[in-house]
A and B are shown apart, each in its own frame.
Chain A
Amino acid sequence: MNLNELSILSLYSAMAVYALAFIAFSFDLAKRSAAVSQAQGDALRSAGPESARSAGGAGGTATLTRISARIVNDASTPYGRSPSLRVGVSLTVLAWLIHLVADVLRGLAAGRVPWANMYEFAMTGTLLIVTVFLIVLTRADLRFLGTFVTGMVLVLLGIAALRFYVEVAPLPPALQSAWLVIHVFVASLGTGFFALGFALSAVQLLQFRREAALGAASSVPAGSVPAGSVPAGSVPAGSVPAVTVPDGATALAWKNPLRFLATLPSAATLENLAYRVNIIGFILWTFTLMAGSIWAEKAWGRYWGWDTKEVWTFIIWTIYAGYIHARATRGWRGSRSAWLAIVGFSAVMFNFGIVNVFFKGLHAYSGL
């Protein structure tokens, strides 16, 4: 068995372990939802409407102190230790190690950096996404994103292994440059941060809707709140109540499958986290753009030529520049800027998966 075959074997093993991690993380989300139902039930039974309101509506407003606060899990429903969460993280670390081995073996087999074609970008890019995730975990408890990260990495690796696989080949002259090492690596690293920012922004939007619904519910006359939210907690997921209840309560019940949101940080905290992750991604992307230009000058004789890949790199840069400005614009902070982060990451994925493969341009990769 040669190095490349070992690499493939490791990659498939890593995917299997990621799949197990994904299951553990999903299980954790399910348990969170159950814990929320439990907490809501307890609160309502013991203290009535007053505590129900404080249990649900705590994360609703963003104060000045909140914005400048350190990363804290200001979840409205505290959620204790979770064995499945710890299993998920452990499995992710294990999968990451095997993934790393796969990547290094591929590099050794090729005798160069393992990021010179689509298969290798996908392999190294996903490795970096998980790396960024694991590093961020040491600084902030974002384990609730485990399902997203392992799920996305699994899908991307699956596509890479099935659709993008190419045999080890030497570098064509156009890719023989130190800039391959720098430009592509930094772009992949930036993608790792954008992926995390995307997930945070998406959860932020869900959380915002939940908080808004709660805000609306708690402004309804006090007596009607428990009436609406008790069934919301106990009715099984998917059975949208047919009973007529006040608007806010309907929204609450509709959110049923996403009850676990109550155990996650508030929308404002998520927004700050997303912003911090995204600006790191933005800086890496800016560097990618510059390094790419320097390389383009050496390889193609011009630093900028509106090649399709250049165009999309520019579009992504502009969207994230918009995101950063949106965060500083009154009326655009919050959900609107979150949408921009989501659009931005979608463009990153489009640039990788669609532009590389289907668009005609200079960034063509020998048979992928």
Chain B
Amino acid sequence: MSRPSDHYDSPAPVAAEGIVQPRLGFVGWLRWFWRQLTNMRTALFLLLLLAIAAVPGSLVPQRSSDPNGVTQYFTDNPDLAPALDKIQAFDVYSSAWFSAIYLLLFISLIGCVIPRTKHHFLALRAKPPRTPARLARLAGFTTRTAPAGTDAAAAVDSARGLLRAGGYRVALFDSAPQADVREFSVSAERGYLRETGNLVFHFALVGILITVGFGSGFGFSGQRVLVEGQTFVNTLLAYDSFNPGRFFNDDSLDPYKLTLNDFQVTYETKNLKAYGQPIDFTAGVSVTRRGQAAETGEVKVNSPMRTGGTDVYLLGNGYAPSITVKNPQGDVVFTDAVPFLPQDANLTSLGVIKVPDGLAKQLGMIGFFYPTQAKATSGAFYSSFPDLEYPLLTLNVYSGDLGLDAGVPTSVYSLDTDKMTQLTGGKTGTKSIELKPGETQQLPNGLGSVTFDDAHPGAKAGDFSGSVLRFASFDIHHDPTQLWVLSFAVLALLGLLTSLFVPRRRVWVKAVEEADGSVRLEYAGLARGEDPALESVVASLADRHSDLLLSSQLAAPAPEHT
């Protein structure tokens, strides 16, 4: 049998008492090891081990899915974290031990499936096996006496027709045990699709593993934040962050141009119990591919845009207040729309403005933006609605060394205030700068002025809806494996369905001519794998066959009487 020796359907092992094992050579040991690896118990063990090994990855933050969580974990557990990191607990799914388990599992799987494929291939071309001598020991055994005058060979032939019509592969046997006894039988087998499905399922899993393992190396993923009106060109340098696959080649980027024309948001306002909950985010974009006219399109949360061999996903959004800083002479030293990171559901947002040049000292500002500013009883500001109803920007100003000159890369979203002096807010005694769109205030110590530019200056008083620009953060991916993985997954599902629900069974019909000339019919079946309907199938076959014989009996004898 091609199945592992401990498969339930394999013959029981012969007791090995008194047998002296021959000494195994190197090849012998290899063989032994292979047999161990490919037996059912090992596969089962590895499968369950895989399930257990996957658990820690859900308990400890993973670098792949939650890098900030890992950083936080290191801060919270300074002693434990490095130890966990040593055993790759933050990269469980790419760790040596997790990989070892699934690779062994897949080797075991392949080692099991290949001989089975060979065996199945031969079985597909072979005739059903010879009818067993004693059907009485098999499932659903039924005997009937054929209507008088039935010929044994003809009876078996009609059974063959029935079985064939039922999708069985059939073979006739003339199985007379003695010379003077006439005994014919038909051996039938169906459900080869069960094993085919089983093999397809397992090969499809191997396919998924290989596609994911190698194929994903050819892809990349990158992130880019775009403020309304900004344009991005799909080149390596234009990304805020970029993670290429192992085999990715920069030249394969298609340099299309993507402009964020506008960003539309809708928040719930009717249902007071869900007031302010987001209903819709739509990024209106235009894409210009090389040598082509610009095309407009939309990117929404659940509907990415597929263009230029990449998929563009909308993963975040927020406000990007436009801020202009002038020196005391009135010259502009800084003007930009600065993306502020949302801190809560009502989009209280935090941003950093760095002005390295043009002023007496380097200037840094930590800003809070409240789209709909409200005041708590403690005096603290918060945002009570995510849309622009009553926007306010507050700025804490620092002067000193921004730390940019050392050449060390720093985040645009954080300000290192170690070498800076706070000028407004906090304990300085000077009130933070508070600005509404369109307003300007002087910076402390006569450093200059700061303006919160109104993006829609023409609006009537009190309408702030277009006063602040929004940004959208896009994930741009190229993953050549997607279609393959999907195809293999569909194959796996189809294989699974057939392997679990197509019954595989053998059925035999035997016609024995008794000494008195009557014909005894025997029916029996054998399940090959799970087959709850076997006995009723054999019984209904016996019924239908009897009916068939009876009706042909009624039709056939007529000429004899004339």
Which residues of A are interface residues toward B (Cβ below 8 A)? 64-65, 67-71, 167-170, 172-174, 176-177, 272, 275-276, 279, 282-283, 286-287, 290, 293-295, 297-308, 311-312, 314-315, 318-319, 321-322, 324-333, 340, 355, 359-362, 366
Contacts and interface: CB of A to CB of B under 8 A. Distances in A.
A6 B8 CA distance: 54
A360 B533 CA distance: 46
B42 to A, nearest CB: 10
Given A172-B278, A283-B496, A283-B500, A299 B302 contact: yes
A308 B274 contact: no
A279 B502 CA distance: 13
Contacts of B280: 173, 176
Interface stretch (B50-58, B145-153, B188-196, B396-404): B50-58
Given A68-B532, A170-B268, A298 B303 contact: yes
Contact of A174 (B10, B268, B302): B302
Interface of B: 6-10, 12, 40-41, 43-44, 47-48, 50-51, 54-55, 57-58, 61-62, 64-66, 69, 92-93, 139-140, 212, 221, 268, 271, 273-274, 277-281, 300-304, 311, 313, 315, 475, 477, 479, 482, 485-486, 489-490, 492-493, 496-497, 500, 527, 530-536
A173 B62 contact: no
Is chain A's interface secondary structure helix, strand, loop, or mixed overall?
helix
Is chain B's interface secondary structure helix, strand, loop, or mixed overall?
mixed
A324 to B, nearest CB: 8
Given A301-B475, A318-B54, A331 B41 contact: yes
A65 B526 CA distance: 9
A335 to B, nearest CB: 15
A171 to B, nearest CB: 8
Contacts of A169: 268, 271, 273-274, 277
Contact of B54 (A276, A307, A315): A315
A301 to B, nearest CB: 4
Given A173-B280, A332-B41, A355-B58, A67 B527 contact: yes
Given A318-B47, A329-B8, A306 B475 contact: no
A279 B201 CA distance: 15
B78 to A, nearest CB: 20
Nearest to B532: A70
Contacts of B530: 275-276
B278 A173 contact: yes
Contact of B221 (A69, A168, A301, A366): A301
Contact of B7 (A290, A314, A322, A329): A329
A325 B8 contact: no
A272 B535 CA distance: 15
A312 B58 contact: yes
Contact of B139 (A65, A276, A301, A327): A65
Contacts of B6: 329-331
Given A173-B280, A286-B493, A321 B61 contact: no
Nearest to A63: B139
Contacts of A325: 40, 43-44, 47
A225 B486 CA distance: 61
B277 to A, nearest CB: 6
A319 B57 CA distance: 17
Given A286-B496, A306-B93, A329-B8, A170 B271 contact: yes
Contacts of B477: 301-302
